[in-house]
Amino acid sequence: MALKNEENLGEMKAEEKTSWVLNDFGIGRPLGKGRFGNVYLCRENASHFIVALKVLFKKELIRLNVAHQLRREVEIQYHLRHPNILRLYGYFHDIDKGNCGNEETAKYIYQLSSALEHCHERLVIHRDVKPENVLIDKKGNLKLSDFGWAVQHDGQSKRGTVCGTLDYLPPEMIAHKPHTYKVDNWAVGILMYECLMGKPPFEVQGQKDTIEKIRKCNFHLPADLDVRAQDLLKKLIELMPERRAELKDVMKHEWIIANYMPPPLLPFPNKAQ
Protein backbone atom coordinates (compact mmCIF):
# COMPACT_ATOMS: atom_id res chain seq x y z
CA MET A 1 0.00 0.00 0.00
CA ALA A 2 1.73 3.23 -1.14
CA LEU A 3 1.25 6.48 0.73
CA LYS A 4 2.72 9.50 -1.05
CA ASN A 5 4.60 12.53 0.16
CA GLU A 6 2.28 15.54 -0.25
CA GLU A 7 4.96 18.10 -1.26
CA ASN A 8 5.01 17.59 -5.04
CA LEU A 9 1.62 16.21 -5.93
CA GLY A 10 1.71 17.84 -9.33
CA GLU A 11 4.74 15.81 -10.42
CA MET A 12 2.94 12.51 -10.43
CA LYS A 13 -0.53 11.62 -11.64
CA ALA A 14 -1.49 8.54 -9.66
CA GLU A 15 -4.59 8.05 -11.78
CA GLU A 16 -2.39 7.26 -14.80
CA LYS A 17 -0.78 4.38 -12.91
CA THR A 18 -3.31 1.58 -12.51
CA SER A 19 -1.09 -0.87 -10.64
CA TRP A 20 2.39 -1.30 -9.19
CA VAL A 21 4.76 -4.16 -8.45
CA LEU A 22 7.50 -4.16 -5.83
CA ASN A 23 10.22 -3.63 -8.45
CA ASP A 24 8.65 -0.24 -9.24
CA PHE A 25 10.14 1.04 -5.98
CA GLY A 26 13.56 1.52 -4.48
CA ILE A 27 13.28 0.42 -0.85
CA GLY A 28 14.89 2.64 1.78
CA ARG A 29 15.03 2.73 5.55
CA PRO A 30 12.23 1.51 7.86
CA LEU A 31 9.93 4.26 9.12
CA GLY A 32 7.92 2.22 11.60
CA LYS A 33 6.43 -1.14 12.40
CA GLY A 34 3.19 -2.51 13.77
CA ARG A 35 1.35 -5.72 14.48
CA PHE A 36 0.39 -6.34 10.86
CA GLY A 37 3.39 -4.96 8.99
CA ASN A 38 6.17 -2.44 8.49
CA VAL A 39 6.43 0.96 6.78
CA TYR A 40 9.43 1.84 4.59
CA LEU A 41 10.69 5.04 3.01
CA CYS A 42 10.77 4.39 -0.75
CA ARG A 43 11.19 6.09 -4.10
CA GLU A 44 9.06 5.25 -7.12
CA ASN A 45 11.49 4.52 -9.93
CA ALA A 46 9.50 6.11 -12.76
CA SER A 47 8.70 9.47 -11.12
CA HIS A 48 11.45 9.57 -8.44
CA PHE A 49 8.61 10.41 -6.09
CA ILE A 50 9.26 9.78 -2.38
CA VAL A 51 6.62 7.54 -0.82
CA ALA A 52 5.88 5.62 2.34
CA LEU A 53 5.29 1.97 1.49
CA LYS A 54 3.23 0.02 4.01
CA VAL A 55 4.03 -3.69 3.79
CA LEU A 56 1.41 -5.93 5.40
CA PHE A 57 1.86 -9.53 6.52
CA LYS A 58 -0.88 -11.42 4.70
CA LYS A 59 -0.46 -14.46 6.92
CA GLU A 60 -1.22 -12.40 10.04
CA LEU A 61 -4.24 -10.74 8.43
CA ILE A 62 -5.67 -14.14 7.55
CA ARG A 63 -4.77 -15.73 10.89
CA LEU A 64 -6.51 -12.99 12.87
CA ASN A 65 -9.41 -12.77 10.40
CA VAL A 66 -9.03 -9.03 9.76
CA ALA A 67 -8.68 -9.04 5.96
CA HIS A 68 -12.13 -7.46 5.71
CA GLN A 69 -10.95 -4.62 7.94
CA LEU A 70 -8.04 -3.92 5.60
CA ARG A 71 -10.36 -3.98 2.59
CA ARG A 72 -12.64 -1.43 4.26
CA GLU A 73 -9.67 0.79 5.19
CA VAL A 74 -8.45 0.84 1.58
CA GLU A 75 -11.90 1.53 0.13
CA ILE A 76 -12.45 4.47 2.49
CA GLN A 77 -9.02 6.12 2.35
CA TYR A 78 -8.55 5.71 -1.40
CA HIS A 79 -11.41 8.12 -2.13
CA LEU A 80 -10.56 10.79 0.45
CA ARG A 81 -8.93 13.99 -0.87
CA HIS A 82 -8.05 16.59 1.76
CA PRO A 83 -4.83 18.53 2.47
CA ASN A 84 -4.77 17.27 6.08
CA ILE A 85 -5.46 13.61 5.29
CA LEU A 86 -2.62 11.39 4.16
CA ARG A 87 -3.48 10.28 0.65
CA LEU A 88 -3.54 6.66 -0.41
CA TYR A 89 -2.28 6.52 -3.99
CA GLY A 90 -2.55 2.81 -4.62
CA TYR A 91 -2.09 -0.73 -3.41
CA PHE A 92 -0.84 -4.05 -4.74
CA HIS A 93 0.08 -7.54 -3.57
CA ASP A 94 3.18 -9.58 -4.25
CA ILE A 95 3.41 -13.12 -5.60
CA ASP A 96 2.18 -15.61 -3.01
CA LYS A 97 4.47 -18.42 -1.82
CA GLY A 98 7.37 -17.55 -4.09
CA ASN A 99 10.78 -19.03 -3.44
CA CYS A 100 14.41 -18.49 -4.43
CA GLY A 101 16.70 -20.77 -6.38
CA ASN A 102 19.85 -22.41 -5.01
CA GLU A 103 22.24 -19.71 -6.23
CA GLU A 104 20.21 -16.78 -4.92
CA THR A 105 19.57 -18.49 -1.58
CA ALA A 106 23.23 -19.48 -1.17
CA LYS A 107 24.28 -15.87 -1.76
CA TYR A 108 21.85 -14.54 0.84
CA ILE A 109 22.73 -17.20 3.42
CA TYR A 110 26.46 -16.58 2.95
CA GLN A 111 26.04 -12.81 3.32
CA LEU A 112 23.69 -13.15 6.30
CA SER A 113 26.09 -15.57 7.99
CA SER A 114 28.96 -13.16 7.36
CA ALA A 115 26.97 -10.25 8.83
CA LEU A 116 25.96 -12.22 11.92
CA GLU A 117 29.46 -13.60 12.41
CA HIS A 118 30.66 -9.99 12.47
CA CYS A 119 28.04 -9.24 15.15
CA HIS A 120 28.95 -12.30 17.21
CA GLU A 121 32.66 -11.46 17.10
CA ARG A 122 31.68 -8.17 18.74
CA LEU A 123 29.51 -9.98 21.30
CA VAL A 124 26.23 -8.82 19.73
CA ILE A 125 23.24 -11.18 19.31
CA HIS A 126 20.66 -9.91 16.81
CA ARG A 127 17.74 -12.08 18.07
CA ASP A 128 15.23 -11.01 15.41
CA VAL A 129 16.48 -12.38 12.09
CA LYS A 130 13.49 -12.74 9.74
CA PRO A 131 12.63 -11.73 6.15
CA GLU A 132 11.30 -8.32 7.20
CA ASN A 133 14.70 -7.43 8.70
CA VAL A 134 16.74 -8.58 5.71
CA LEU A 135 16.91 -5.94 2.97
CA ILE A 136 18.39 -6.27 -0.52
CA ASP A 137 20.21 -3.29 -2.07
CA LYS A 138 20.14 -2.27 -5.74
CA LYS A 139 23.16 -4.50 -6.44
CA GLY A 140 21.38 -7.53 -5.02
CA ASN A 141 23.40 -7.67 -1.81
CA LEU A 142 21.88 -8.43 1.58
CA LYS A 143 21.73 -5.86 4.37
CA LEU A 144 20.79 -6.95 7.90
CA SER A 145 18.63 -4.36 9.65
CA ASP A 146 16.54 -3.66 12.77
CA PHE A 147 18.65 -4.20 15.87
CA GLY A 148 15.75 -3.36 18.18
CA TRP A 149 15.96 -6.77 19.93
CA ALA A 150 19.75 -7.01 19.73
CA VAL A 151 21.76 -7.41 22.92
CA GLN A 152 25.41 -7.37 23.90
CA HIS A 153 26.71 -10.28 25.94
CA ASP A 154 29.94 -11.21 27.68
CA GLY A 155 30.52 -14.44 25.75
CA GLN A 156 29.87 -16.60 28.82
CA SER A 157 26.46 -15.94 30.39
CA LYS A 158 23.14 -16.71 28.72
CA ARG A 159 20.19 -14.41 28.05
CA GLY A 160 16.63 -15.10 29.19
CA THR A 161 14.36 -12.68 27.30
CA VAL A 162 11.96 -14.25 24.80
CA CYS A 163 11.89 -12.06 21.68
CA GLY A 164 11.46 -12.31 17.93
CA THR A 165 8.81 -13.77 15.61
CA LEU A 166 7.18 -17.14 16.34
CA ASP A 167 8.13 -18.86 13.06
CA TYR A 168 11.79 -17.98 13.75
CA LEU A 169 11.93 -18.68 17.49
CA PRO A 170 14.29 -21.53 18.48
CA PRO A 171 13.27 -24.33 20.87
CA GLU A 172 15.21 -22.88 23.81
CA MET A 173 13.20 -19.63 23.60
CA ILE A 174 9.94 -21.56 23.20
CA ALA A 175 10.84 -23.45 26.39
CA HIS A 176 11.79 -20.17 28.15
CA LYS A 177 15.34 -21.40 28.65
CA PRO A 178 18.42 -19.15 28.63
CA HIS A 179 19.90 -18.66 25.17
CA THR A 180 23.14 -17.71 23.45
CA TYR A 181 24.17 -16.39 20.02
CA LYS A 182 23.08 -19.76 18.62
CA VAL A 183 19.53 -18.34 18.34
CA ASP A 184 20.81 -16.37 15.34
CA ASN A 185 22.28 -19.52 13.77
CA TRP A 186 18.88 -21.21 14.09
CA ALA A 187 17.23 -18.24 12.34
CA VAL A 188 19.71 -18.51 9.46
CA GLY A 189 18.49 -22.07 8.93
CA ILE A 190 14.83 -21.00 9.07
CA LEU A 191 15.45 -18.25 6.53
CA MET A 192 17.33 -20.65 4.24
CA TYR A 193 14.40 -23.07 4.40
CA GLU A 194 11.88 -20.32 3.66
CA CYS A 195 13.95 -19.05 0.71
CA LEU A 196 14.11 -22.53 -0.82
CA MET A 197 10.61 -23.78 0.03
CA GLY A 198 8.53 -20.59 0.04
CA LYS A 199 7.39 -20.98 3.66
CA PRO A 200 8.92 -21.48 7.13
CA PRO A 201 9.54 -25.11 8.19
CA PHE A 202 7.15 -25.08 11.16
CA GLU A 203 4.27 -23.16 9.59
CA VAL A 204 0.85 -24.60 10.45
CA GLN A 205 -2.57 -23.04 11.11
CA GLY A 206 -2.60 -22.88 14.90
CA GLN A 207 -0.05 -21.10 17.09
CA LYS A 208 -0.06 -23.97 19.60
CA ASP A 209 0.70 -26.47 16.83
CA THR A 210 3.54 -24.28 15.57
CA ILE A 211 5.01 -24.11 19.07
CA GLU A 212 4.78 -27.88 19.44
CA LYS A 213 6.53 -28.48 16.11
CA ILE A 214 9.33 -26.09 17.07
CA ARG A 215 9.66 -27.68 20.50
CA LYS A 216 10.19 -31.10 18.89
CA CYS A 217 12.16 -29.67 15.93
CA ASN A 218 9.70 -31.49 13.69
CA PHE A 219 10.07 -30.33 10.08
CA HIS A 220 9.96 -31.90 6.62
CA LEU A 221 12.70 -31.94 3.98
CA PRO A 222 11.42 -32.93 0.51
CA ALA A 223 13.29 -35.78 -1.17
CA ASP A 224 13.99 -33.73 -4.31
CA LEU A 225 15.85 -31.02 -2.36
CA ASP A 226 19.62 -31.00 -2.98
CA VAL A 227 21.14 -33.38 -0.41
CA ARG A 228 23.85 -30.81 0.37
CA ALA A 229 21.17 -28.23 1.15
CA GLN A 230 19.40 -30.80 3.34
CA ASP A 231 22.64 -31.40 5.22
CA LEU A 232 23.15 -27.70 5.93
CA LEU A 233 19.54 -27.24 7.01
CA LYS A 234 19.80 -30.14 9.45
CA LYS A 235 22.96 -28.63 10.94
CA LEU A 236 21.32 -25.23 11.44
CA ILE A 237 17.78 -26.26 12.41
CA GLU A 238 19.12 -28.39 15.25
CA LEU A 239 17.26 -28.91 18.52
CA MET A 240 20.38 -28.68 20.71
CA PRO A 241 21.99 -25.20 20.50
CA GLU A 242 25.49 -26.49 21.22
CA ARG A 243 25.26 -28.79 18.19
CA ARG A 244 24.13 -26.13 15.72
CA ALA A 245 26.54 -25.25 12.94
CA GLU A 246 28.88 -22.32 13.49
CA LEU A 247 28.42 -19.54 10.96
CA LYS A 248 32.04 -19.71 9.82
CA ASP A 249 31.35 -23.34 8.88
CA VAL A 250 28.12 -22.36 7.11
CA MET A 251 30.09 -20.05 4.82
CA LYS A 252 32.43 -22.93 3.94
CA HIS A 253 29.72 -25.57 3.51
CA GLU A 254 29.80 -27.53 0.25
CA TRP A 255 26.31 -26.40 -0.77
CA ILE A 256 27.30 -22.74 -0.38
CA ILE A 257 30.56 -23.26 -2.29
CA ALA A 258 28.73 -25.05 -5.12
CA ASN A 259 26.25 -22.20 -5.58
CA TYR A 260 27.97 -18.94 -4.63
CA MET A 261 31.43 -17.48 -5.08
CA PRO A 262 31.81 -14.45 -2.78
CA PRO A 263 33.84 -11.47 -4.03
CA PRO A 264 36.94 -10.42 -2.06
CA LEU A 265 35.87 -8.70 1.15
CA LEU A 266 37.12 -5.11 1.02
CA PRO A 267 38.03 -3.36 4.29
CA PHE A 268 35.30 -1.07 5.59
CA PRO A 269 36.34 2.63 5.42
CA ASN A 270 37.69 3.95 8.71
CA LYS A 271 36.42 7.46 9.43
CA ALA A 272 39.43 8.07 11.65
CA GLN A 273 41.81 7.84 8.68
What is the tens place of the pLDDT at every residue in 83-130?
868 888 888 887 655 689 999 999 999 999 999 999 999 999 999 999
Sketch out the chain's domains with CATH numbers.
Answer: 2-90 (3.30.200.20), 102-259 (1.10.510.10)
Residue 44, annotated as binding a ligand: no
- Which one has a higher pLDDT value, 33 or 192? 192
Residue 96, annotated as binding a ligand: no
pLDDT, the chain, mean: 85
Measured CA to CA, the distance from residue 142 to residue 256 in angstroms comes to 15
SS3 content of the chain, % helix, strand, coil (to 5): 40, 15, 45
Closest CA to 127 of 189, 174, 52, 180: 180
Q: In the predicted model, is pLDDT for residue 2 greater than 80?
A: no
Full-model pTM: 0.72
- Which one has a higher pLDDT value, 203 or 237? 237
128 is an active site residue: yes
Residue 103, annotated as binding a ligand: no
Render pLDDT for 172-188 as a digit per residue (tens, 0 to 9). 999 999 999 999 999 99
Measured CA to CA, the distance from residue 194 to residue 49 in angstroms comes to 32
Measured CA to CA, the distance from residue 67 to residue 69 in angstroms comes to 5
Residue 35, annotated as binding a ligand: yes
The SS3 of residue 192 is helix
Render pLDDT for 5-49 as a digit per residue (tens, 0 to 9). 444 444 455 444 557 888 888 888 888 877 788 898 999 988 888
Measured CA to CA, the distance from residue 13 to residue 3 in angstroms comes to 14
Measured CA to CA, the distance from residue 208 to residue 229 in angstroms comes to 28
Counting beta carbons within 10 angstroms of the beta carbon of residue 267, is it exposed (0 to 12), middle (13 to 18) or buried (19 or more)? Answer: exposed
Catalytic: which of 128, 137, 154, 224?
Answer: 128
Report the pLDDT value the prediction gives residue 9, as an integer from 0 to 100.
Answer: 40
Q: In the predicted model, is pLDDT for residue 170 greater than 50?
A: yes
Triad 62, 18, 57: Cα angle to 5°: 20
Average pLDDT score over residue span 213-225: 96
Residue 99, annotated as binding a ligand: no
